[in-house]
Amino acid sequence: MKQLLLKNGRVIDPANGIDGQADVLLEKGKVQKVGARISPGGADVIDCKGLLVCPGFIDMHVHLREPGQEWKETIETGTRCAAHSGFTAVACMPNTTPVNDSRSVTELIVNAARERGMVRVHPIGAVSKGQKGEELAEMSDMVDAGAVAFSDDGHPVRSSLLMRKALEYSQIFGVPVIDHCEDRELVDGGVMNEGDVSTRLGLKGWPSVAEDILVQRDILLAEYTGGHVHIAHMSTGKAAEFVRRAKKQKVKVTCEVTPHHFALTDEAVGEFDTDAKMNPPLRSEADRKALIKAIADGTIDAIATDHAPHHPDEKCVEFACAPFGIIGLETAIPLSIDLLVHAGVISWDRLVELFTVNPARILGIEAGTLTPGVAADVTVIDPDREFVVDKSTTESKSVNTPFHGWKLRGCSVLTIVGGRIVHNRDE
């Protein structure tokens, strides 16, 4: 493989405290050197003037749907979509068919990703066998096969006893338990945020308190057991406050937020738009503002998409009958740049941290930095380039996005995995 020299860009590498003009040399799949005026030698030179050169972005929460739901997405299409979106790695949730609750399924995903994946794929194993919430799955086997965390995502871990055991047992491997926080009894079949919009639409409400209760339970259990809990797709202001307080008390809790939860509110449901139906649901404006504040003050560790492809036929039904979830890879970086950085909420450095070193640390993977010697995964961003969301050009197999037609400023232009360019927006 040829050397690649990214010249004259603004290098942002939060893990190493770098934010400034520099060149980055990639060689043999690794970061060789970061510094001023590196001489090209025999390298292919890419002029990155006016661009941001960052460690490869990581999306720590996607649903690739393979094995078993290939009509929605596959490892091939999902990772191609990730590459086109500026991500060099994704972590995929285990609610496949069969569930990724064993070494064999984890291996199947790892092998499929090696053969057909455009970006790195880190499987997340199920907490419980079959995601049934009854007995722990064989975590050790899955870790050996490449699992980086455990989650019953799609479902919460309902039993506090099982959650306790998961937080204890996972400490053997030093991996987090990622919880989808939803008290199913309280949600009681709710299909959108409970509030004035659900009341106006006659739709069954999914109350924010059902999320808050499980977040607080998980924090208490993490504190009690010393385990690491990671809160998936946090959507309420109250949950953010719980995490903020717990972090002050040194509880091992981390959390992520999705772009749709900081970009939209339940008003986006409009007149029963199933592309605005996801779990957890879009919340109130007060929640949205509280999440943005939590992103700004450091409470939120990562931005993750919860990329959840569903076939158009599945979404083209009555609102209550539609599956939860939207695709999120392509819109994640543009939404975050536009609504967080350009809007003055956070710095570039903080944005890069949310997408790189933080998710890498949570998952315990050696990535998310430009430290010489690490894999040459790089995301290059044009801070001002216009990005228009268009369903008809998406790389995902599915088109379920509420952002169709949005014009955003800032997007990735180059995605490099292991020193190889996997996407160039100008080609």
Partner 1 sequence: MSLSSGHLLGIANLDAEEIVRILDTAETFAEISTREIKKVPTLRGRTVVNFFVEPSTRTRSSFELAEKRLSADSLNFSASSSSFSKGESLLDTARTLEAMAPDFIVMRHSQPGAPHFLARHGQASIINAGDGPHEHPTQALLDAYTIRQHKGKIDGLRVAIVGDVRHSRVALSNIHLLTKLGATVVACSPPTMLPRGLETLGCEVTHRPDEALEGADVVMGLRVQLERMTSGFFPSLREYARLYGINRERLRRAKSDAIVMHPGPMNRGVEIAGDVADGERSVILEQVTNGVAVRMAVLYLLAGERDKAA
- C-alpha 352/C-alpha 362 separation (Å) is 15
**Minimum distance from CB of 207 to partner 1 (Å)?**
8
d(CA 260, CA 404): 13
With CB cut-offs between 5 and 8 Å by kind, which of Zn ion, partner 1, none does residue 328 bind? Answer: none
CB nearer Zn ion, residue 124 or residue 378:
124
- Residue 351 interacts, among Zn ion, partner 1, none and using kind-specific CB cut-offs from 5 to 8 Å, with none
Per-residue binding letters, 180-219, with partner 1 (x by CB under 8 A): --------------xxxxxxxxxx-x-x------------
Ramachandran sector of residue 5 (left: φ over 0; alpha: ψ -120 to 50; beta: rest)? beta
Among 185, 313, 426, 427, binds partner 1 (CB under 8 A): 313
- Binding site partner of 153, from partner 1, Zn ion, none, Cβ cut-off 5-8 A by kind: Zn ion
- Tell me whether residue 196 or residue 366 sits nearer to partner 1 (CB atom): 196
Nearer to Zn ion, 157 or 370 (CB): 157
- The stretch near Zn ion (CB under 5 A) out of 162-170, 180-188, 252-260, 369-377 is 180-188
- 3-state secondary structure labels for all residues of 37-97: CCCCCCCEEEECCCCEEEECEEEEEECCCCCCCCCCCCHHHHHHHHHHHCEEEEEECCCCC
- What b/e sequence results for 403-417 when a residue is b if at least 16 CB atoms lie within 10 Å of its CB, and e otherwise? beebebbbbbbbbbb
DSSP-derived 3-state class of residue 23? strand
Q: How many CB atoms lie within 10 A of CB 70?
A: 16
Instruction: In whole angstroms, give the CA distance from residue 57 to residue 330.
Output: 12
The whole-angstrom separation of Cα 403 and Cα 268 is 10
By CB under 5 A, the residues from 234 to 293 that bind Zn ion are none
Q: What is the nearest approach in angstroms of partner 1 to the Cβ of residue 391?
A: 16
Taking CB within 5 to 8 Å according to partner kind, which of partner 1, Zn ion, none is near residue 28?
A: none
**CB closer to partner 1 out of 58 and 197:** 197
Q: How many residues bind partner 1 (CB under 8 A)?
A: 22
Q: At what angle do helices 329-336 and 348-355 cross, to 10 degrees?
A: 160
Instruction: Identify whether the C-beta of residue 388 lies closer than 8 Å to the C-beta of residue 352.
Output: no
Q: Any idea which residues carry the catalytic annotation?
A: 306
**Do the strands 57-62 and 87-92 form a parallel or antiparallel pair, or are they unpaired?**
parallel
Q: Which does 199 bind (CB under 5 to 8 A by kind): partner 1, Zn ion, none?
A: partner 1
- The two structure tokens encoding residue 132: 């049934």
Residue 406: contacted member of Zn ion, partner 1, none (CB under 5 to 8 Å, by partner type):
none
State which amino acid sits at residue 23: D
DSSP per-residue string spanning 124-192: EE-SBGGG-SSSB--HHHHHHHT--EEE-TTS----HHHHHHHHHHGGGTT-PEEE----HHHHTT--E
Nearer to partner 1, 197 or 278 (CB): 197
Task: Rule CB under 5 A: choose which of 122, 180, 261, 397 binds Zn ion.
Answer: 180
**Residue 313, binding choice from partner 1, Zn ion, none, Cβ under 5 to 8 Å by partner class:** partner 1
**Of 205 and 281, which CB lies nearer to partner 1 in the complex structure?**
205
Does residue 211 sit in helix, strand or coil? helix
- The reply on whether position 319 binds partner 1 by CB under 8 A is yes
The type of residue at 236 is T
Residue nearer to Zn ion on the CB measure, 206 or 348: 206
Binding positions for partner 1, 257-286, rule CB under 8 A: 271-272
Instruction: Record the tokens describing residue 86, joined without a space.
Output: 């500026």
For residue 325, the minimal CB distance to partner 1 (Å) is 15
The residue to which tokens 């605005």 are assigned: 276
Residues found near partner 1 in the complex (CB under 8 A): 194-203, 205, 207, 271-272, 313-314, 316-321
Residues found near Zn ion in the complex (CB under 5 A): 153, 180
